[in-house]
Amino acid sequence: MLRSAFSVPRLAILMSNIVQLVWLVPVLPLIGFLINGLFRKSLSKSLTGIIGSGVILISFIISLLIFFQVKQEGFQPALVRLFDFITVGKLSIPFEFQVDQLSSLFLLIITGVGFLIHVYSTSYMHEEERQHFARYFAYLNLFVFSMLLLVLGSNYVILFIGWEGVGLCSYLLIGFWFKNIEYGNAAKKAFIMNRIGDLGFLIAIFWMISKFGSVGFAEVFSKTSTTSVAVLTGITLLLFVGATGKSAQIPLYTWLPDAMAGPTPVSALIHAATMVTAGIYMIARSNIMYTLAPVTQTVVAVTGVATAIFAATIALKQNDIKKVLAYSTVSQLGYMFLGLGVGAYTGAVFHVMTHAFFKALLFLGAGSVIHAMGGEQDIRKMGGLKKYLPVTQITFLLGCIAIAGIPPFSGFFSKDEILAGAYEKNPVYYVLGVAGALLTAYYMFRLYATTFLGKFRGTHDQEHHLHESPSAITIPLIVLAILSVIGGFVGIPEVFAKNAHALEHFLSPIFAQSKEIQEQHATGSSPELTLMVISVIVALAGAIYGWTRFSKKPELEDATGFRKVLANKWYVDELYDTIIVKPINALGKFLNNVFEKSIIDWIVNGIGRAVQYSSRQVRLIQSGQVGGYVLLMVIGIVILFLVEIFIKQ
Amino acid sequence: MPINYYIFLSVALFCIGVTGVLTRRNAIIIFMCIELMLNAVNLLLVAFSKMHHQAVGAAVPTAGIDGQIFVFFIMVVAAAEVSVGLAIIVMLYRNTHSVDVNFLNRLKH
């Protein structure tokens, strides 16, 4: 029996229908979440790890099968309807999954990188108590589940459910060590900042419902060509507000660096596979609306390039290994938004993919370093780790090269595609983008050189404990390093080989409509090869300068002057504190002290006193004299009679 | 005889009953006054049903009969009520040696 189930024809049928089984991909992590969450006190650590990672692995395998199905020529986007979610009047929102090129690619990134992070976590979190270990994996699975829901939904409401889900999970995981109040505050900050963005998203959904009468992707996009540009601009701007929150763009980026409070693999998950890519996905999904709203595109591009540069300058002077990486994520996300803003949608999605590889690698590498250093995160106290952590060192270096955009590593291809698109739109974007790339290469090699080169600067005790991490940590690092190196070859630019850009070919159905519109306004070709050479030279220069400057003499003293401004992140947190948090606190205090006491308390106490007073008076009527009662009764009856006779008529 | 006579008589009886209940202090007299009120109502019921029967009795032989029957019910219920009430008064008297309702103001507590 069992054999026949796997016989060849049945397998073929299963394969051809694998798209219909797409609901398994998010459901499995949900099951993992439930098992780990409900039985966290009774499951052993190894079982927890196996369940937590296993469900993601199965999801990954299904995603892979779906991907091959989608990759075939002539694949039509498939809708898998699970049940009716909301039906109100003419509005019907089904709980429906959409499998197409974009979502299947994101499925692979999320489950693939997510699986590696799960495996890594089994070792990294091993010192936690059993129930916290299981709680951690439960949250991690829920995180992956929410993200999968986000990319699979066939309408904005399902997307929004996933969107909120990742927000919740980021809160839970950033505040995983909840006994530390600062970590709890970081978690709250992430949640609240996201909420600000979510409000924009929510309003955009309502606007869509009122304008298009639907929230399904297909229905909305089919109606965009007949909608006025002003409405589209409004909707897309509101959606973009949501994206700035989730994807950490100016002005809502400050939560991401603080999100470092969570365990390091969580940072890797937030930065690489889930959460921050949600905004990119959403805009890439809505690309046709953005293409039709040029004003929004400009806003997106300017925000993106500004964030890229701004975050890169902050990263220059950070001394916490995770903070540097966090700001580099903000900066790279800025590049992705630049790509979206200039209409290089494929480039942006491509960069999401390559960034997922090398940023997960860098974070997990940083985690390995922190693990070896016994929790130390300050790079000034590291140095010379090269000989103690050979695997971590080499993979970290590969990650740095990839993020710096040096060919033929993956970051080069994707970043270059975005920069080429930016040049076509406006050379200013390109110049700023290259400047950002210079900074990126510089600070990444500063980080690498300070951490791994030179002499060890920690305590003797730490030096004694330095050791390479176990294989559950190093294997994911190696896999991610390989992906970071070769991941770029799916998108070889046209100047090197005709039609070699496999990713663009793969994603072309998604962006076809936008491309058609863009080509009507095309300004001609750009000198792509020249641009490429310039950006590579700049990146190399930054990398070499960073390497040589910090390998011999790391920067140990506290920053002064302008550097101090950078080290303090341009005082943006302080600025927000002054202009938003403090006034709101003051208002709250005012309301608490004045409004609450003199008005609300007065009303509440007044009602109480009035009742007390009147009851004291009314109580006197109850004298116990039966005659009195009867008299009152008779008076009452007489009044009723009079009412009946004189008034009711 | 016009119906008005009956009505005036019952109203007078009823008012006497009410006044008695309100002004007298002896529980037994109050009881008697309550009976007076009940009988005022009974009288009215009987009178109305009789008049009704006279008016439409040729066409509907049973017209007004329910009023007569209802009176018997009221009498039976009143008798039952009196027996219970008197029992209470007897018990009260045994305990307090008084049937003065002004003295019996314990309902307050």
Q: How confident is the model at residue A16 (pLDDT cuts 50, 70, 90)?
A: low
A299, burial (CB in 10 Å: exposed 0-12, middle 13-18, buried 19+): middle
Q: How far apart are CA A177 and CA A173, in angstroms?
A: 8
Of A285, A276, A283, A353, which Cα lies nearest the Cα of A107?
A353
Of A319, A334, A356, A635, which Cα lies nearest the Cα of A457?
A319
* Shortest CA gap A608–chain B (Å): 25
Q: How far apart are CA A305 and CA A430, in angstroms?
A: 9
What count of other Cβ atoms lies within 10 Å of the Cβ of residue A380? 17
Cross-chain residue pair A626–B108, CB shorter than 8 Å: no
Q: How far apart are CA A253 and CA A543, in angstroms?
A: 26
Half-sphere exposure of A152 (CA within 13 A, CB side): 31
- Residue A96 sits at φ, ψ, to 5 deg, of -135, 140
Average pLDDT for residues B78-99, to the nearest whole number? 90
* Shortest CA gap B11–chain A (Å): 13
Q: How far apart are CA A232 and CA A284, in angstroms?
A: 15
- Domain edges within chain B: 3-100
Question: Helix (H, G, I), strand (E, B), or coil: what is residue A597?
Answer: helix
* Shortest CA gap B103–chain A (Å): 8
Q: How confident is the model at residue A5 (pLDDT cuts 50, 70, 90)?
A: very low
Q: Out of B18, B107, B109, name the one closest to residue A626 (CB).
A: B107
Architecture of domain B3-100: Orthogonal Bundle (1.10)
Instruction: Decide if pLDDT at A8 tops 60.
Output: no
pLDDT of residue A619: 86
Average pLDDT for residues A3-26, to the nearest whole number? 68
Structure tokens at A451: 């951490």
Convert the pLDDT of each residue in A598-613 to its tens digit: 888 999 999 999 999 9
Convert the pLDDT of each residue in A329-353 to its tens digit: 999 999 999 999 998 899 999 999 9
Q: Look up the ipTM and state it.
A: 0.77
Q: Please name the residue ranges forming H helices in A316-388.
A: 321-341, 345-372
Instruction: Decide if pLDDT at A643 tops 50.
Output: yes
A103, A22 Cβ separation under 8 angstroms: no
Q: How far apart are CA B15 and CA A14, in angstroms?
A: 95
Q: Which residue has the higher pLDDT, A624 or A324?
A: A324
Instruction: Tell whether B25 lies on the interface with A, counting CB pairs under 8 A.
Output: yes
Q: What is the DSSP letter of A409?
A: S
Tokens 């997922």 map to which residue?
A356
Q: How confident is the model at residue A191 (pLDDT cuts 50, 70, 90)?
A: very high
Question: Helix (H, G, I), strand (E, B), or coil: what is residue A274?
Answer: coil
Q: Which positions in chain B touch A623 (Cβ < 8 Å)?
A: 105, 108
- Chain centre distance of CA A143: 10
Q: How far apart are CA A145 and CA A261, in angstroms?
A: 22
A413, A492 Cβ separation under 8 angstroms: yes
Convert the pLDDT of each residue in A217-251 to its tens digit: 988 888 888 888 899 999 999 999 999 999 988 88
Q: How far apart are CA A53 and CA A50, in angstroms?
A: 5
Structure tokens at B86: 């008197």
Q: Which positions in chain A touch B102 (Cβ < 8 Å)?
A: 625, 627
Q: Which positions in chain A touch B18 (Cβ < 8 Å)?
A: 634
Structure tokens at A159: 């997307």
Q: How far apart are CA A586 and CA A594, in angstroms?
A: 12
Which residues, in sequence order, are bridge partners of residue B100?
B26
Q: Which residue has the higher pLDDT, A555 or A600?
A: A600
What count of other Cβ atoms lies within 10 Å of the Cβ of residue A257? 25
Instruction: Tell whether A624 lies on the interface with B, counting CB pairs under 8 A.
Output: yes
Mean pLDDT rounded to a whole number for chain A: 87
Structure tokens at A571: 């005082």
Convert the pLDDT of each residue in A192-213 to its tens digit: 989 999 999 999 999 999 988 8
